[in-house]
Each structure stands twice: as structure tokens, then as C-alpha cells.
Structure 1
Amino acid sequence: MLVSIIMPAHNAEAHIRTAIDSVLAQSFGNFELLIMDDCSTDSTVDIVRSYTDPRLKLHVLGSNLGAAGTRNYGIRQATGRYLAFLDSDDCWKPEKLAMQLAFMQANQAALSYTAYDVMSPDGTQVTGRVDVPESVTYRYLLRNTIIGCLTVMIDTAQTGLVQMPAFRGAEDTATWLTILKKGYVARGLTESLAVYRKGNVSLSSNKIQMAKLIWQVYRKNQQMSILTAMTHFPFYLWNGFRKHLRTGGSMKLVK
């Protein structure tokens, strides 16, 4: 089974080698790594072009599409049955694809995710870990955005074409919600198989921005009434606060 890995990149020269190398080091080798350069002005494209592995496919976009648009472009180019996502400053552990694909097939999962570690912005130390439940329903995800984009794998034979809505910074959560709303249950592999690079944005400012984004997802993307949204929102705030305390405070927002 071919896995298509979607990697958006924008001025990613500082860390993209680490991300690419973690994919090329996978014990499972039947993948294509689709890197979409979103109008970088640094050496990102040159770094990607320095690789000769034919599984790596670079697309240089003619206009800036943002995170959701860039991922959607990549998804439309993908030829694999399974989709996986990795940002250009995060990385995977070597057994990630092999273990997760076997897990999905054993559980006939449409969407799966894993636990992941959190590292400092410079990558020198692990500062926390995000543990995950064995399953996540639509209702659960409304109240606890526990699924990390860098850990997700989707079986498009079950879900059909996946496209991320334009909710800058929360497009991934909106996507998982849309899939689960159809009745699917996401399955979690509780072993940590990925490493998320923590950003430098402060906890307080970042949490306010993320809260606003999640509220927009409730109201505009999931088309909830104000009353229904208000029944879920306090749980989201509490679970988000607990998660960021466990992982050392701040996180990045994808631009």
C-alpha cells in the first residue's frame, strides 16, 4: 500500500532537512513524499532539490496558498491510498509508518493518530509528551483537540477525497471533525511515533488565538448553534490548558 506524505514548506531552511531525513529513514519504504513549497524566499527549494531519492516530489507553487491550500494541493497530487501529514519543522520516529499502517489495517480504521513527543524550538531536548486515548469520536474531539496533525494517517478508500477548510491554524482539527461527523471513530496508537517542534509564541497569546479559531470551527465549519457550541467550548478550554502545561507551555501556529 502506497502512503502519500504531505509536507507544506514555507521558508523552512532551518529544519526541513531533519523532517525529510526522518521520512527517508522510515523502515516502511513504499511512500511518496510530496513537498509543496509555498513561495519560500530562503534556500528551502535548493535544500529539497539536493535530495536524489525518487520518492521525494517537489512542487513549487506559483502563489502563496497558506497551510490549508498548500496541503490541499498536495492531496490532489497524491497517488497513494493512505495520506499522512508532516510539517517541515517536525519529524517522525523510524517505525512510524510501518506500525501505523499495520495498526490501521488491523483495525480497519479510516483515520488514525499516535502519541507524540514535544521538543524545544532548537530540537535539543524533549520537553513533554502528548498521550492519546485509544479512540476518539466526533463528540470527544469537539471537547479535546488531542489529535496531532503530524501523527494522522487517513485511508482515502474509506473517506474519499480529503480537503482542508481555510481555518488558518485550526484547519487540521476542522478536517478531523468533518470526517468523524460522518460516523467514523478515529483509532489511536498510544506509542509515541512523532516529535513536534514547539514554537516560541507565548502560551497566553497563543491560547487566546487558538480559542478564537476553535470557536469559528464550531460555528462556521461545523455549523453549530451558539448554545451547542457553548456546551463544548469550556471542555475544549480546560483540556487545551492541561495539554499545554504538560508539554511545556507554548506551541506553534502554522502560517
Structure 2
Amino acid sequence: MKELVSIITPSYNSEEFIEETIQCVLDQTYENWEWLITDDLSRDNTVKIIQKYNDPRIQLQVLEQNGGAGNARNKSLERANGRYIAFLDSDDLWVPEYLETMINHMQKYKAELVYCNYARCDEHTMQPVLKDFHADRIVTFSNLLKTCRLAPVSTMYDTKRAGKFYFPIKSKREDHVMWLNLLKEIPKGYPLQKTLAKYRMRQNSVSRKKKNIIKDQYLVYKDFMGFSTVKSLYYTANWALNGFFKYSKFFN
């Protein structure tokens, strides 16, 4: 029997995009999944749209107060029963073969974690605005300190081999902290050089305002990794430089 996949999704004011995201999950060729959506007290019609879908695999929880994406992901993780954990934000997309291909790749290499290429698209047209991000190297704790190559939309891990990892709710860089904590416990993550996901480049996304989050990134190293001030500054500088190249290669 195929192993169960738990899909982890935080939702917040996503009425413009959520139906497309739901459809991409329903279209998956790998069908043994549970989808744990935690709504972070949306003020629009997101919850009503999700509730229209009569599929027992879709499990919606609505929080009583807003706590941020990391907290919402944690609430979904608490309910997750699957061996494999996959992340999909409420405005991003997978190709139909995403789950099947990622699991096959993980099993091929007996890997605890795998990640793939993803397209970086305009938020309205979903046409590429940057070159695809390429999963071009094995990731380790050491090289992940200098740049976060792992994105939720394109990464999957195996709880049977690695355990279950939660997001720190006191960090604005919770994704990076979680991946670092995971890579402390496993030797490496394997790349899959196929574009299987689409990341929506939202103009108001905090993750794109690099100048505003340098302090938050510094705290990843200083507070969460326990590094010295000098070591934290060193890795923050590396992260900022790599981030510039990651987001500056436009198609033109």
C-alpha cells in the first residue's frame, strides 16, 4: 500500500487563489494524501471556498485568533498522520505529478529529504518573472547556513526517517530555522532537477523585502543557532549576498 502523505497548508485571506491551489492537489496522480489546512482567521471568503469541497481528505481547522503562518503550519503538523510531509501555501501550485515524483525520488536515494526546481511566477498571471530556481546541489546543514535553498512548495521530508519538525513561532524566518534544525539531524537532502512547483511572487510578501529582514536573519544565527556575534554577522552577510543573486536574475 502506498504511504500516506500529509500536505501542510496555512491559509489567510486567499480567496483570489485558493481554488486553483485546491484543484492542483485534487489533480495529483498520487492519491493517498491528507490535506491539513489551518486557516489563520481569514477576513475574506477563504474558509467558505474551502468548505465547498466535499472530499474527506481535506481537513480544515479555523483558528480563533491570528498567529502567523508558522503557527498555522504547526497546528497542521500536530494533526498530521502521514509518513511524508509536504508543504503547500494557499497561493502556490504543484504539477499533477509532484507528489508521485518526489516520493519516487526519495525512495530511490533512501533520502530523508528531497527538493526540486520551482518556477517563480507573477502573482496574477502565473507567468515566470524570474528564472526557475534550480535544485542543483545536495543540501547540508553547513551549506544551508549561507543560503536557504529549500522552499516549502518544493520540499518533502520523511518523518519515519527524520522525525517531525515544527516551526519556531518567534522568528520571522521560521522556514529557514526549521530546515536548519532538520538538517542538524540528517546528513543531507537530495536535489531533483525537475520543475514541479510554481511559487507565486506576491508584491506584498515579507520574504521579498530583503532589506527589512536582515536583522531577522541575523537572529536566525544568533538566537536560534546560538552562534557568536561575529559568526552570526558572517553568515548573515553570506545570506544577503546569495539572496541578491537569487532574486536579481530577471528575464529581460
TM more than 0.5: yes
| Match of residue 34 from structure 2 | 32
| 1:168 Cα deviation after fit | 4.5
Overall identity of the aligned pairs, in %:
36
- Tell me, in whole angstroms, the C-alpha distance in 2 between the residues paired with 1:34 and 1:247: 34
Relative to 1, partners in 2 of residues 1:151 and 1:167: Cα closer, same or farther, differing over 3 Å? farther
User: Counterpart of 2:169 in structure 1: which amino acid?
Assistant: A
Q: 2:9 aligns with which of 7, 10, 14?
A: 7
- Tell me, in whole angstroms, the C-alpha distance in 2 between the residues paired with 1:228 and 1:78: 36
| Match of residue 253 from structure 1 | none
| 1:86 Cα deviation after fit | 0.5
| Match of residue 251 from structure 1 | none
Please say if 1:144 is aligned against 2:141: no
Greater CA drift, 43-52 or 60-69: 60-69
| Match of residue 42 from structure 1 | 44
- Tell me, in whole angstroms, the C-alpha distance in 2 between the residues paired with 1:204 and 1:82: 26
User: Counterpart of 2:65 in structure 1: which amino acid?
Assistant: S
| 1:21 Cα deviation after fit | 0.8
Any conservation in 1 of the 2:126–2:200 contact (CA below 8 Å)?
no
Q: Deviations over 1:125-174 (max 9, x none)?
A: 21121112231111111111121111111111122221111244411111
Q: Please list every run of at least 4 consecutive aligned residues from structure 1 whose deviation after the TM superposition is greater than 3 angstroms.
A: 201-205
| Match of residue 68 from structure 1 | 70
User: RMSD in angstroms over aligned alpha carbons?
Assistant: 1.8
Q: Deviations over 1:86-142 (max 9, x none)?
A: 100111111110000011111121121111001102134211211122311111111
Q: Deviations over 1:44-97 (max 9, x none)?
A: 111001111221111111222211111001001011011100100111111110
Please say if 1:181 is aligned against 2:196: no
Please say if 1:215 is aligned against 2:218: yes
Q: 1:131 aligns with which of 130, 134, 145?
A: 134
Greater CA drift, 165-174 or 42-51: 165-174
| 1:184 Cα deviation after fit | 2.4
Any conservation in 1 of the 2:171–2:220 contact (CA below 8 Å)?
no
Give ranges in structure 1 of 5+ residues lacking alignment.
Answer: 249-255
Any conservation in 2 of the 1:96–1:194 contact (CA below 8 Å)?
yes
Kindly report which structure 2 residues correspond to 1:1-255, keeping only aligned pairs within 5 A, or say none: 1-128=3-130, 129-201=132-204, 206-246=209-249
Relative to 1, partners in 2 of residues 1:228 and 1:86: Cα closer, same or farther, differing over 3 Å? same
Give ranges in structure 2 of 5+ residues lacking alignment.
Answer: none
User: Any idea what SS the aligned residue of 1:143 has?
Assistant: coil
| 1:231 Cα deviation after fit | 2.7
| 1:180 Cα deviation after fit | 0.8
Any conservation in 1 of the 2:6–2:34 contact (CA below 8 Å)?
yes
Name the TM-score, length of structure 1 as normaliser: 0.92
- Tell me, in whole angstroms, the C-alpha distance in 2 between the residues paired with 1:124 and 1:5: 22
Relative to 1, partners in 2 of residues 1:183 and 1:203: Cα closer, same or farther, differing over 3 Å? closer
User: Counterpart of 2:6 in structure 1: which amino acid?
Assistant: S
Q: Deviations over 1:167-200 (max 9, x none)?
A: 4441111101011122421111111110000011
Name the TM-score, length of structure 2 as normaliser: 0.93
User: Any idea what SS the aligned residue of 1:116 has?
Assistant: strand
| 1:243 Cα deviation after fit | 0.6
Any conservation in 1 of the 2:222–2:232 contact (CA below 8 Å)?
yes
Any conservation in 2 of the 1:22–1:91 contact (CA below 8 Å)?
yes
| 1:234 Cα deviation after fit | 2.2
| 1:247 Cα deviation after fit | 5.3
Count of residues paired in the alignment: 248
| 1:204 Cα deviation after fit | 11
Relative to 1, partners in 2 of residues 1:183 and 1:154: Cα closer, same or farther, differing over 3 Å? closer
